[in-house]
Amino acid sequence: MTKIKVMIIDDSAVVRQTLHDILNADPEIEVVATAADPILAAERLRTIIPDVITLDVEMPRMDGLTFLQKLMSQHPIPVVMCSSLAESGSETALKALEYGAVDIITKPRMGTKQFIEESRLRICDAVKGAAAARLGALRTYVPRKEVSPKYSADVIMDKPNSKAMLMTTEKVVVVGASTGGTEALKVFLEMLPADTPGIVIVQHMPENFTAAFAKRLDAACRVTVKEAQDNDTIVRGRALIAPGNHHVLLKRSGARYYVEIKDGPLVSRHRPSVDVLFRSAARYAGKNAVGVILTGMGDDGAHGMKEMFDAGAITIAQDEATCVVYGMPNEAVKQGGVHKIMPLQLIAPEILKLCS
């Protein structure tokens, strides 16, 4: 299998070397070029065409956003934005997603062995997801069998008890997304009215980016959108987005649905994990839940959606034609846990019909 060819663009020599080492250590990835700024990168793109570019947000001579716009208009290549945790950088990186970037990663930095390993997984997975992304024409990438530890939702909570009685009829909607999900969620949420049933969302995104992402969505939608906080009540007209680097669980006390924010290991290679959210919805909402799985690389959410299906929930997967990466929805379909496969633009109307 041909390796994924990557170009790294970052003004920091340390970051370039660290990313180079992380990516080259993956047997499926090869760094073919590095550049200290977009001007140098443009020169190298005359002779080297990578499959994926990792792009710094703030650089001398030309910022990452300007370069991204030029790249997408002249020679589209999947781009993963590499940002610091600074608030200004977060805002710019989120804007880059609107301009065609596929994903966001945070700049690698030193930490514990576990932290470094998790960062390596996130960075390599982001590049693989970008390599599989559709930028006009469909691109295909078949990942090798996983060799890294891959936890299931068992490490966060037990499997749902089918004997649990649910005494409320209020509907709740749970949504999972990854690569390409930021724009898919915007399309989905903008179509919903202000009295939509309560929604909980997991979008694979680094820590400190989800608050800014929720704020941008809130400004564009009739529903209220906010980053979820522990014990937030799930109410009509509001969408709660799982905070980066934390799992979110749907819980119930009497007729009240609320969220629990929880730490723990990566589940299905992610934190937050869609599998964790979907399992909690199976347990605490059962047939009162509607599950939606959108575009994304990998299989996070597939097992949890099957548990929702078995608990009586209605489950919907985005179709291949409208996905940036038809990974997560495809895996959910393969698990046999999907009732409906639909184009992105039809999912919101279908949910309103199901919850009426």
Q: Which domain holds residue 165?
A: 155-354
- For residue 80, the cross-strand partners are 54, 103
The closest of 143, 150, 126, 106 to 18, measured between CA atoms, is 106
Residues 18 and 3: their CA atoms lie apart, in Å, by 19
Q: Is residue 224 part of a domain?
A: yes
Q: Is residue 150 part of a domain?
A: no
Average per-residue pLDDT for the chain: 89
pLDDT band at 152 (very low <50, low <70, confident <90, very high): low
H or E segment and range at residue 71? helix 64-74
Q: Is residue 43 part of a domain?
A: yes
Dmax over Cα atoms in the chain, in whole Å? 64
Q: In the prediction, which pLDDT does 58 show?
A: 83
List, for residues 203-259, the tens digit of each pLDDT value: 999 888 999 999 999 999 999 999 999 999 999 999 999 999 999 999 999 889 999
- Overall residue count recorded for the chain in this entry: 356
Residues 178 and 103: their CA atoms lie apart, in Å, by 9
The answer, yes or no, to whether residue 118 has pLDDT greater than 90, is: no
Please give the average per-residue pLDDT across 331-342, as a whole number. 97
Same domain, 168 and 120: no
Q: Is residue 141 part of a domain?
A: no
pLDDT band at 144 (very low <50, low <70, confident <90, very high): very low
Is 300 among the residues known to form the active site?
yes
Question: What share of residues in the chain are helix, strand, coil (percent, to 5)?
Answer: 35, 25, 40
Determine what percent of the chain is predicted with pLDDT higher than 70: 88
pLDDT band at 142 (very low <50, low <70, confident <90, very high): very low
Overall domain count for the chain:
2
Q: Which two tokens stand for residue 273?
A: 């994990």
The answer, yes or no, to whether residue 26 has pLDDT greater than 90, is: yes
The closest of 331, 261, 272 to 302, measured between CA atoms, is 331
Determine what percent of the chain is predicted with pLDDT higher than 90: 73
Same domain, 203 and 65: no
Residues 179 and 325: their CA atoms lie apart, in Å, by 7
Q: In the prediction, which pLDDT does 266 show?
A: 93
The answer, yes or no, to whether residue 155 has pLDDT greater than 90, is: no
Of 116, 131, 146, the last residue of a domain is: 131
Q: In the prediction, which pLDDT does 86 show?
A: 56
Residue 40 sits in a domain whose CATH number is 3.40.50.2300
pLDDT band at 145 (very low <50, low <70, confident <90, very high): very low
Catalytic residue of the set 90, 119, 178, 273: 178
Q: Is residue 236 part of a domain?
A: yes
Q: Is residue 290 part of a domain?
A: yes
Same domain, 191 and 122: no
The answer, yes or no, to whether residue 141 has pLDDT greater than 50, is: no
List, for residues 72-98, the tens digit of each pLDDT value: 988 899 999 988 765 556 778 788 888
Same domain, 337 and 221: yes
**Three-state secondary structure call for residue 204:** coil
Catalytic residue of the set 204, 247, 270, 303: 204
Catalytic residue of the set 10, 56, 275, 300: 300
Of 96, 131, 166, the last residue of a domain is: 131
